[in-house]
Amino acid sequence: MSETVQPLPIAEPRSGLKVLRGLARDRSLLTALSLMRTYVGPVFQITMPRFRPAVFVGPDANRQILVTARDQFSWRNESDPVVRLLRRGMLVVDGEEHDHYRDVMDPPLQRRNVLPHIPAFWRYTDNVIDTWADGSTQDMLVEMRKLALLILMGTTFHVDFAPDMERLWQPILHLIEYISPGLWIVWPDAPSKASHRRAIAAMDDYLYAIIRARRAQLEQQGVAPDPTDLLENLIATPGMTDDLIRDQLLTMLIAGHDTSTALLAWVLYLLGMHPATMRQVQAEVDAVVGTQDEPPTAEQVNELHFLDQVIKETLRLYPPIHIGNRRVPQDSEICGYRVPEGTRVMYSIYLSHRDKDHWRDPDAFCPARFERGQEEKVPPFTYVPFGGGPRNCIGAAFAQVEARTVLARMLQRFHFELLDGDKIHPHMGATLEPRPGVRMRVARRFAP
Ligand code: HEM
């Protein structure tokens, strides 16, 4: 370790007080983190009893944590609920074990294998929006969760989730609550709630039944597994027990739907807050896909440039995964700071995306930042909605094609008017969620 290495900065008593006041006022950890960034700087340590993570903000730290010094970190924080829930899911294991699962699950999620899902994304969107009465009010946080679940289960596992939606709705919300920031942060051994245990049991029953049924079906029919089906890929991989497959399925289910839910809900919120932008997106959708009922081609989806800018700007302002968690298994030096063995390290995507050192007017919604050929110039690794390096988001292509297709269909068929937009705030759950929800009045654009 070099001699110039500094201890991790902490808040001076006066700044600490301001942070605490902000926390009490907004009751939001996001406010506390933003104030720490303002008063302490782009690197700081939180000093709560039993919770002393080092938080890093900005491109240099992101690059080190995600790429150049990635081998110094482990993902697995043993006592975190997400580790207890996902057990040996690829999101929470390290080293060769992680790389093995990633190799198995990567091919079905590559862009060329995702594009053929466009018709399914389109039809699942219809399944949800067909239930909306003209002029009714819908909570987009709820509706987008339904849609994201149908899409994820239907396209990656070829399982129809519709018949189980109602029964598993509460268990899924409980699982998300279980892994969200909570008492466990300062009390890692806190006994788990009965509602969480019941939710895990319900999801396990469901997932193990799916795995057994598919194994039996493949054996009976003696057919080769479909390589574009994640579940069949896992079943066909030697050494993958039902337990290990359950861990990967649950990982994909949680990581793959809660994020898309948040992204879609935030896009609709921002469009609701900026009606002129909504009209511009709608005009683009009309020009590219018109009133056609048939799903768009991959080329058409690709041509939705302005919608893409809106999605990217939404991911900047409200990144569903707003923070990445690591641990240093040995004393380390990160960006010139000493990080003692065992420290939890966090890289804040949210704060990097709103850092005034790198972005013009960082809190403003401005899709033009991402206009092709005219992009706002920020250093690489300043914008990291899907992380980076070898552990970047495996579902990034899936999420982007899904978002464009779903939003195109929704905007093609409905007008949206946001209600109570001023009451909506970001909530730091498992993802960054618009709370208390995104209520919108929906009006059909064309006769069905
Ligand atoms: C808007 C949607 C999404 C966003 C913003 C997002 C964001 C991210 C980010 C930031 C990471 C890296 C976390 C870290 O460095 O600690 C990540 C990892 C991951 N994501 Fe996503 N994600 C999205 C959708 C999806 C989808 C659709 C899937 C699955 C189909 C998925 C599965 C995963 C998995 C399994 C990992 C762990 C990868 C690894 O450790 O190798 N995500 N995601």
Ligand 1 within 6 A of 435 CB? no
Looking at the CA of residue 109, tell me the nearest atom of ligand 1: 30
CA distance 366 to 358: 15
Band of pLDDT at residue 3, cut at 50, 70 and 90:
low
| Residue 183 Cα to ligand 1 middle (Å) | 25
108 lines ligand 1 (CB under 6 A): no
Q: What is the pLDDT of residues 353-411, one digit of tens each?
A: 999 999 999 999 999 999 999 999 999 999 999 999 999 999 999 999 999 999 999 99
Lowest model confidence (mean pLDDT) among 79-93, 133-147, 212-226, 278-292: 212-226
DSSP string, 50-112: TB--EEE-SHHHHHIIIIITGGG-BS--TTSHHHHHHTT-GGG--HHHHHHHHHHHHHHHSHH
Where does the pLDDT of residue 22 fall: very low under 50, low under 70, confident under 90, or very high at 90 and above? confident
Q: Are 353 and 359 in contact (CB under 8 A)?
A: yes
Q: Give 266's contacts (C-beta < 8 A, 6+ positions apart).
A: 314, 317, 318, 320, 432, 434
What is the CATH T-level fold of the domain 1-72+322-384, as seen in this structure?
Answer: 3.30.43
Ligand 1 atom nearest residue 403's Cα: 1
Helices (H), ranges, 222-241? 230-236
Look up the CATH superfamily of 78-319+387-448.
Cytochrome P450 (1.10.630.10)
The domain locations on the chain are: 1-72+322-384, 78-319+387-448
What pLDDT is stored for residue 78 in this prediction? 85
- Please say if the pLDDT value at position 448 is more than 60: no
* CB-based contact 141:429 (threshold 8 Å): no
pLDDT at 437 over 80: yes
Report the nearest-CA residue for atom 20 of ligand 1: 393
pLDDT in tens, 252-298: 999 999 999 999 999 999 999 999 999 999 999 999 999 989 999 99
Asked whether 256 lines ligand 1 (CB < 6 A), one says yes
Question: How much is the pLDDT for 28?
Answer: 83
CA of 291 to the centre of ligand 1 (A): 33
Q: ∠ CA(147), CA(148), CA(152), 5° rounding?
A: 120
Contacts 24+ apart (CB under 8 A), 46-51: 47/10, 47/11, 48/185, 48/186, 49/186, 50/186, 50/187, 50/188, 51/185, 51/186, 51/344
Pairing mode, strands 137-139 and 414-418: unpaired
In 3-state terms, the chain is what percent helix, strand and coil (to 5)? 55, 10, 35
pLDDT at 447: 61
Residue 11 backbone dihedrals phi, psi, to 5 degrees? -70, 135
Q: Please state, in angstroms and rounded to a whole number, the distance separating the CA atoms of residues 64 and 94.
A: 17
Cα-to-centroid distance, 347 and ligand 1 (Å): 15
| The pLDDT of residue 29 | 85
Q: Which tokens sit at 239?
A: 């050494």
Q: What DSSP letter does each residue of 174-195 carry, written as one string? A: HHHHHHSSSGGGT-TTPPPPHH
Per-residue pLDDT of 106-130, as tens digits, reads 999 999 999 999 999 999 999 999 9
Q: 300 CB contacts (<8 Å, ≥6 apart)?
A: 288, 289
C-alpha 393 – ligand 1 centre gap (Å): 4
Please give the distance, rounded to the nearest whole angstrom, from the Cα atom of residue 422 to the centre of ligand 1. Answer: 29
For residue 183, what pLDDT band results from cuts at 50, 70 and 90?
A: confident
125-150 mean pLDDT: 98
Query: Cα(49)–Cα(98) distance, rounded to whole angstroms?
Result: 32
- Ligand 1 contact, 154 CB (< 6 A): no
Residue 184 confidence (pLDDT):
84
- What is the CA(252)–ligand 1 centre distance, in A? 9
Nearest CA to ligand 1 atom 21: 393
Q: Is the dihedral of CA 97, 103, 106, 111 positive or negative?
A: positive
Question: Cα–chain-centroid distance for residue 207?
Answer: 21
